Copies of this chain bind each other. A is one copy, B any other.
Amino acid sequence: MRMLINVPERVVGDALRGMAAAHPELAVDVEQRIVRRGDAPVADKVALVSGGGSGHEPLHGGFVGPGMLDAACPGEIFTSPVPDQMARAAAAVDSGNGVLFVVKNYTGDVLNFEMAAELAEDEGVRIRTVLVQDDVAIDADPASGRRRGTGATLFVEKLAGALAEEGAALDEVEALARRVADASRSFGVALSAVTTPAKGGPMFDLPDGELELGIGIHGEPGRERRPMMTAQEIADAAVDALLEDLTPDGPVLALVNGMGATPLIELYGFCAEVHRVLGERGVAVARTLVGNYVTSLDMAGASVTLCQADAELLRLWDAPVRTTGLRWGA
């Protein structure tokens, strides 16, 4: 097991201690596993809370701060957090203007956040929930409700976070978040399998010279195994899968995302190919983010997320954000 850890059971707690040590601007509750803005609750602001299994860092804890999330609840590795934790986080950041839960569409996340919403509402916190379900590898029918939430989570958190920071009301923030989720699609490939601390070895056997197309962010195998492809071929496959059910009639936001172990130099090369094929398909790119943002521990591979943009979304994208994982203008 090639891991820089103490013991598997303590990985999440140890990481939270590290975040607390490194980032005094955050309020990190190691015991309760809540990362929140040091200045939360922020008066008159709708709060955004997200969370999910750990192992996707910087998502979500790295996206806590002005202009993005008010709090994040990390679960165990690849395991949704528990309702009490999210309800407590919601209560801790609610200024009275309500809380938006940003939930990735997995049975566990959905069920736990639902229970959390009930608990929080029992305590008088107004809760709205937006589901992120952007992974086109799952199901031809986007309305099936079965699609996984992956890279688009970053867009939802950034854009809705920016709107909340401007002082918009809960209805508006919720509607914007839903609009962004609806306008986003992702597709990912894995070049190696994940090793989780609990398992101590690779989750599945992916021989050198093969790759998995249509992977998620939890180390599960993809939809299809293929002989190794070039960056060019992968970009073609990914973008074409995306454009099969997103038909942008204007510029897009693009996230060229690493799954964790793919070097940045490769991501940039891949980014060049993604831009090339988008150009060939007549899609203009308004903003591009390249890096490891929505990861799967030590998986090698990448995903592409596109979000159909408009003037409002571009304004919100460019708005200041100050988190440990994403920062500009502040």
Copy tally for this chain in the complex stands at 2
Q: In the complex, which of the residues B54, B228, B265 contacts A15, with contact meaning CB atoms closer than 8 Å?
A: B265
Residues B14 and A231 in contact, CB atoms below 8 Å apart: yes
Q: In the complex, which of the residues B232, B260, B275, B297 contacts A21, with contact meaning CB atoms closer than 8 Å?
A: B275
Which of A55-63, A109-117, A138-146 faces chain B? A55-63
Q: In the complex, which of the residues B14, B231, B289 contacts A269, with contact meaning CB atoms closer than 8 Å?
A: B14
Which of A88-96, A122-130, A298-306 faces chain B? A298-306
Q: Which B residues lie within 8 Å of A14 (CB)?
A: 231, 268-269, 272-273
Given A57-B263, A290-B18, do A3 and B298 touch, yes or no (CB 8 Å)? no
Q: Smallest distance from the beta carbon of A288 to chain B beta carbons, Å? A: 4
Given A21-B272, A298-B300, A300-B2, do A12 and B265 touch, yes or no (CB 8 Å)? yes
Report whether over half of chain A's contact residues are helix, strand or loop; otherwise say mixed. Answer: mixed
Q: Which B residues lie within 8 Å of A329 (CB)?
A: 330
Query: In the complex, A262 Cα to B23 Cα: how many Å?
Result: 20
Q: In the complex, which of the residues B234, B265, B295 contacts A263, with contact meaning CB atoms closer than 8 Å?
A: B295
Whether A19 sits at the interface, judged by CB under 8 Å, is yes
Query: In the complex, A272 Cα to B15 Cα: how many Å?
Result: 7
Query: In the complex, A275 Cα to B77 Cα: how many Å?
Result: 23
Query: In the complex, A17 Cα to B262 Cα: how many Å?
Result: 18
Q: Smallest distance from the beta carbon of A250 to chain B beta carbons, Å? A: 18
Bits for A266-293, please: 1 = Cβ < 8 Å to B, else 0: 1111111101000000000100111010
Q: Smallest distance from the beta carbon of A11 to chain B beta carbons, Å? A: 6
Whether A191 sits at the interface, judged by CB under 8 Å, is yes
Given A256-B22, A268-B14, A271-B18, do A230 and B6 touch, yes or no (CB 8 Å)? yes
Q: Which residues of A contact B (CB under 8 A)?
A: 1-7, 10-12, 14-23, 54-55, 57-58, 62, 77, 189, 191-192, 208-209, 228, 230-232, 234, 256, 260-273, 275, 285, 288-290, 292, 295, 297-298, 300-302, 322, 324, 327-330
Can you give 10 contacting A-B residue pairs, CB < 8 Å?
Answer: A4-B262, A11-B265, A17-B268, A17-B272, A18-B256, A19-B271, A21-B275, A22-B290, A261-B261, A261-B300
